[in-house]
């Protein structure tokens, strides 16, 4: 079979229209670099929970926000204010849509987030899907992937993450990050 010298590449997604898998983008801001167009800053929420927590992410630099300075999850207006402020000051050029990580790298993003959340002390820490909002642009996965990655961590690292039945009256599973082991 002959190979065409002029084979067309698939069109790259336009960052101004792109929505990371597993999210719903509710607002977009573009930074300006004088006559050049800068990067897009997204305000988004999880595709499965469109009413509560929001995140902001720049597609030109590493800026990600999912909580405010008081460590409280962001409402849409607060995420929009942060995204707008970032767009006004960021000087990153548009890098395009980030490459989608393979499943192993995406699972590592989930594990790294859990590791950063690991508590000190004696009480386990509950995990919520909203805890992954800052990672959604890089992760590019839906809630089911995140849950499956956590189930795999429970299976392989039960001293780090445990699964338990959801609270009474609801169905499903809740995940609990176990505290760091005591120092001896």
pLDDT in tens, 46-85: 888 766 799 999 999 999 999 988 889 999 999 999 999 9
Task: Tell me which H or E stretch contains 127.
Answer: strand 125-127
Residues of the domain holding 168: 103-177
Q: Which two tokens stand for residue 79?
A: 């995420």
* pTM of this structure: 0.85
Tell me, yes or no, whether 2 lies in a domain: no
Phi, psi for residue 7 in degrees, rounded to 5: -60, 140
- Beta-bridge mates of residue 79: none
**46 in any annotated domain:** yes
Tens digit of each residue's pLDDT (9 = 90 or more) over 98-130? 999 999 999 999 999 999 999 988 899 999 988
SS3 77: helix
Residues 56 and 111 in one domain: no
Q: What's the pLDDT at 174?
A: 92
Same structural domain, 85 and 107: no
Query: Is position 97 within any domain?
Result: no
DSSP 7-63: PPPPPPPPTTT---TTEEEEEEEEEEETTEEEEEEEEEEETTB-SS-BEEEESSSS-
The total number of structural domains in the chain stands at 2
């Amino acid at each position: 079979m002959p190979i065409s010298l002029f084979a067309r590449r698939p069109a790259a997604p336009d960052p101004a229209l792109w929505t990371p898998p597993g999210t719903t983008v509710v607002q977009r801001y573009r930074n300006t670099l004088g006559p050049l167009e800068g990067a897009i800053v997204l305000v988004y929420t999880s595709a499965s929970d469109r009413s509560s927590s929001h995140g902001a992410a720049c597609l030109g630099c590493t800026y990600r926000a999912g909580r405010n300075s008081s460590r409280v999850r962001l409402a849409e207006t607060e995420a929009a204010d942060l995204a707008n402020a970032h767009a006004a000051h960021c000087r990153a050029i548009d890098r395009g849509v980030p490459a989608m990580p393979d499943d192993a790298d995406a699972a590592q993003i989930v594990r790294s987030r859990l590791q950063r959340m690991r508590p000190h002390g004696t009480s386990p820490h509950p995990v919520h899907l909203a805890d992954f909002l800052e990672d959604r642009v890089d992760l590019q996965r839906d809630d089911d992937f995140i849950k499956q990655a956590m189930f795999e961590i429970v299976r392989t690292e039960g001293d780090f993450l445990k699964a338990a039945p959801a609270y009474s009256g609801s169905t499903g599973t809740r995940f609990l990050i176990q505290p760091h082991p005591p120092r001896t």
